[in-house]
Amino acid sequence: MPHSAPCRPPSARPRATATATGLLTPSTLPYGRAEDVLCWLHGDPAQGLLGWGEAARFEVSGPDRFARAAAWWDQTVARFEIDDQVQVAGSGPLLFGSFSFEDDDRSVLVMPRVVLGVSAGQAFVTTVDGADPSASTQPLRSPGPLTWSDGQVSDEAYKKLVAAAVTAIRSGDLNKVVTARDALARAKEPLDVRALLARLSARYPQCWTYAVDGLVGATPELLVRRQGDLIFSRVLAGTGWRGGAAGSGRENPDDAVTAFLTGSGKNAEEHRYAAVSAAEALGPYCAELDVPDQPSVLRLANVVHLSTDLTGRLARPVSVLELAGALHPTAAVCGTPPPVAAAYIRSAGGLDRDRATRGRQVGWTRPGTASSGSRCAAPRSPGARRGSTPAAASWPTPYRKTSSTKRTRSSPPSETRSRTLNSPRFAGGSQRGKQPLSTVA
């Protein structure tokens, strides 16, 4: 049953303060529960956002949860008096969100009381309601050795799930379906989520390292980013391991892994399904939408992915939450066709995706970014965390190229446009109401 929990807005006319900040590192976050910290980091050195405290919170479910979340956020921001002296991505009022895979599960949006950020080399801090922006002085704590065990789905049960999925694909009902499993890790010492975030950010700088409502992870896939009227989406599907043969002591050379991926009909077909699905979801919103004919290769520390970057120009103003809702669930976490794949996942049993946190969307908005949580963990006390990871079962079928693989409007069909998406900066403004909020460098 769709529902929304009452939001907790800031008290009337609080005093807001702001100070400068330096390098962005998870060690500046307060030590405590995973649910109490917010994180969005990318690159080396890391840029992005760290937050804590709750100035406002909204919980919602139902098929219209994205639209209701966007409406709540517009109403919340309208109550603030904004003093944004920085005018970069992430400065000013900010919202972190975690959206469920299933319609009837809980989605959560949090407006933090403190945000430390670095964007385009500019460091800033935003405070609400007189919050203290002082960084933590507690050192990062190692969790000690980990012991692993099965989660909801055992090895044998998972093999049966994959076999059943392949059978369903061969029957013609599906082109692709994404199965998933989880694992339970127990730490010897209390788990310091800041240390986990710091390690993920350092090891995977090409990924977006995140923490939202207790969900922690690092994902190389970017569901959608909007900057002004420009949008960007990174689609990943098709994976090769860089680890080499078991026990060989050698990594596969990158060119060998790349050759395997690009020469694999199964991986190429799987990737085309994902890219076309994203293009079809974003196309109705765009005056121009450019999709490369061939994927590129994205190399991470442990794997290599086939990657397609979609770029577009919006035909009308639209929030990143609405775009995220149009894309969800993606082929990367569900399958194709998405409604058929989603129905199969529900009927097949196995992993409860929202309980295991698999397949949720996470991100921030102002105007914002959304990503898909396909590699994630949910730290729990005492000393345990549950993680989940996907596997795609697909069976190649003849592929019919459609106009959505390279869609342009207001331009010749043969033309492919390219543009730099990180050059625009968010325009500032003053929205007067009850709540003063300041951002300074």
Q: Which of 18-22, 326-330, 363-367, 420-424 has the highest mean pLDDT?
A: 326-330
Q: 303 is in which domain, residue-wise?
A: 4-440
Rounded to 5°, the CA angle 423-326-99 comes to 90
424: CB partners within 8 A, 6+ apart? 227, 228, 230
- What pLDDT is attached to residue 418? 23
How much is the average pLDDT of 236-255?
67
Which tens digits make up the pLDDT trace of 261-289?
Answer: 888 888 888 899 899 999 999 999 999 99
Residue holding tokens 């290599």?
A: 304
> How far, CA to CA in Å, does 110 sit from each of 90, 170, 327?
14, 43, 21
Quick check: 2 pLDDT over 80?
no
- What pLDDT is attached to residue 215? 87
pTM above 0.75, yes or no: yes
Cα-flanking dihedrals φ and ψ of residue 69, to 5°? Answer: -65, -40
Rounded Cα gap, residues 161 and 153, in angstroms: 9
How much is the average pLDDT of 209-229?
89
Cα-flanking dihedrals φ and ψ of residue 214, to 5°? Answer: 85, -5
Residue holding tokens 């500032």?
A: 428
Quick check: 208 pLDDT over 50?
yes
As beta bridge partners, residue 110 has: 57, 96
The domain total for the chain is 1
CATH number of the domain that residue 305 is part of: 3.60.120.10
Largest CA distance in the chain: 64
CA end-to-end span of the chain: 44
Please tell me which residue, 255 or 33, carries the higher pLDDT value.
33
Quick check: 315 pLDDT over 90?
yes
How much is the average pLDDT of 330-341?
86
308-337: b (≥16 Cβ within 10 Å) or e: bbbbbbbeeebbbbbbbbbbbbbbbbbbbb
Which tens digits make up the pLDDT trace of 93-119?
Answer: 888 999 988 888 889 999 999 999 988
Quick check: 290 pLDDT over 50?
yes
Rounded Cα gap, residues 224 and 296, in angstroms: 18
- What pLDDT is attached to residue 415? 24
Which tens digits make up the pLDDT trace of 19-32?
Answer: 445 568 899 899 98
Three-state DSSP state, 314: strand
How much is the average pLDDT of 371-381?
54
Q: How confident is the model at residue 81 (pLDDT cuts 50, 70, 90)?
A: confident
Q: Do the beta carbons of residue 51 and residue 94 sit within 8 Å?
A: yes
How much is the average pLDDT of 424-436?
28
- What pLDDT is attached to residue 439? 36
